[in-house]
Structure 1
Amino acid sequence: MNENLFQVTKDGKSGFINDKGQVVIDLVFDGVSSFSEGLARIFVGDKVGFIDTKGNIKVQPKFDTVSEFSEGMAYATTGDKYGYIDTAGNFVIEPKFYRCWGFENGYALVMQEVVSTGCFIDKFGAIKLNGRNFLVSKYSEGLINCSDNGDWGFIDINGNFIIPPTYKYTREFSEGKAAVAPKKIDGKANRKDLYAFINKENEIIIPPLFTGADIHFSDGMCAVYDNGYGYINANGQLVIPCDFYLGQHFSEGLAVVKPNGKGKTYGYVDKTGAMTINPTFTLAESFKNGLASVTTGKKYEEFKRGYIDKSGNYVWEPTR
């Protein structure tokens, strides 16, 4: 299944190119999104449907809102309630939720009402976990970060605390590590909200030296903050100094950064901290399948979007 297709817009119409910049799905839609599990959203007027990687319509544009597919399901609306559809566009969980998120490992976070604290459902729509505030929780790598009377730890999908709620804050697991803010550091209150990293045995493997920034590892690196953004490696070593105004996560060996100073543009650094693509873009996204989406223009009305390769060369010149 080839999903190395990239959405583009020109003269107000959208379609897809390949990684060589060649149009492979004609620009005939009012909007499109990236492919996920072989399907991409298409916008026709104010309705949304799906096409496959050949450009064939697989789900007619009939939804008001719909997400990308995750584990064969996408949340969708045809009114003011959310439910979940299958890849044929049929509701398999009827619209009854105020808000939904994507499935991960067989479960999804939903809000039942506007004042709901959130709960996890299975693929039949049955509630698996409820009774806690899950709205800032994430089910990742088999564990859910959540609070218990204001203290944070990690539970499994059955609601059992696997890592006791002894922390000030916790973030989700990524690459086997999770950022946690201890209540105390060296016997003193952690007033600066410094984060450490633990493993799934609740062992601190990276001490609390930095405030929260990227909060998760990707490509073996994590953005951290200390009067500027820098990066640590999987051993907790600061390998890229905190010299950037903004630093995003690594993907395919490169990270989007905004240098300190008066400049307001973005570029890309490699894992040594070298600026491999100069900061000339108004907006920049992470690399995916060898290309990255970048935006040029000083005002929103002037914004144009294109794609660059890892040498910083355009494979699709900015258009709108």
Structure 2
Amino acid sequence: MDNIKDKYEYIGDFNQGVAIVVKNNLYGVILMGGNEIIAPSYDYISPFKDGYAQAIRKGECKILDLSGRECKQYEGKLIAIPTKYDSVRDFKNGYACVQLNGKWGAIDVNCNEIYEPQFYFLSDFVGGTAKYKTEYKQYANSWGFLNVDGFRSECNLLEPEIEPDGNLIIERYNQRVRINNKGQLLVKNGESMIALPREFLKAGNFENGLAIVQDSTGYWGAVDINGRIVIALQYTDINSFRENKAFAKNKNGKLCLISANGTIIKEFATYSDGYSFKGGYAIVVTECGKHGLINNNGKEILSPLDGYIHYTKNPHEFEITSFFGGKHGLFMASTGLLIKPRYNKIIEVKKDCVKVEVDKIGESLIDLSGSVFVEKDGKRITFPDWCIGVKYLNENLLLGVTDNGRWGLLDGYGETICKPTFDNIGEVDNNIIPLIKKEIITLGDGEKKRKK
């Protein structure tokens, strides 16, 4: 015992078979025979009580048991950690990260190693998932993830985001996707999530039992809720399925209309893109941006026109907007009525006509052939195509306006009296009609002036 006294600067009283010792201002623990169970390495160790003591090392509070092992508290219990580790983080969600020789691994609450120390960095586990780095690397794509069952991804990711349930958000081809901790893509099916086989790298949500998927080849197809391929991955792009149909582009760059079972309904030579079907119709677009309309069989029911086509609440009714000027028109798929986009506003669609708003005129009526008309003495008077709206000057004389705001004169039978070449037409006074036309003349020095 005298030799033991010479070895330490201080030896405390023995309690529960052990004593606290101090050497070089560091605390340790010995057995009654003098054997060290904890070499002097702590800044402080309290007397043992009920088999445990509190200790401090480098500012960290620790709990030691009578065998000298550090203990971690987890869910009201103390877990004794094997002494071989250099450092141990607190248990979180059933697991703790341990360090040995500068490398990190992980143990469970029974101190079983689920990953031996091998990682440069290992995060705490969340929902059975952790992220890791194998070595110090500055570049972004140096992360991986792993789960408690032994699955480990490649270490070639941007830093993943771990969700509370253990699923992850990662970046693939500049798109954020959700995967589980087995690397399977997660896709929404209503309120639930479906895990697809790992071969699929990107996918859209399930709609009507199908999800659009892409694999490492870069091509797209579709799978059912069991992950079985329904449409072969042979398209460079596929839109969402609506009414059991979708638009897709084949390897030759041609737009195709395909069914939900993969049958090609039609391949288009004119169109380069299409919107989802609604009420049996779909809007299609040419390379130069013109819009047209097709039916369920891919048959064109409205040829491409210089304007945008929009769906409305009525599945057979389509609003048309001109590319320039924002003028409005209408197409009725049920009747074939086409009102070109020449009007400020479509006010009301009636059974046998359409009420529109015309600049400088106000309200006008359009018949089912797309022509302006007025009712007089129980009869319809129809006007030529140049006319988008009329108003009476007197009982037998009408003023008509064109798309570009030029004016012309029409008689009571709808015939043109004066072609629409005038900038303005004044009020009739004693059967005299003032016609105003702006002309551009060139003076001798090249200066241009307008003349009325």
TM-score w.r.t. length of structure 1: 0.44
**Bigger relative contact order (CA 8 A; separation at least 6):** 1
Higher radius of gyration, 1 or 2 = 2
TM-score w.r.t. length of structure 2: 0.33
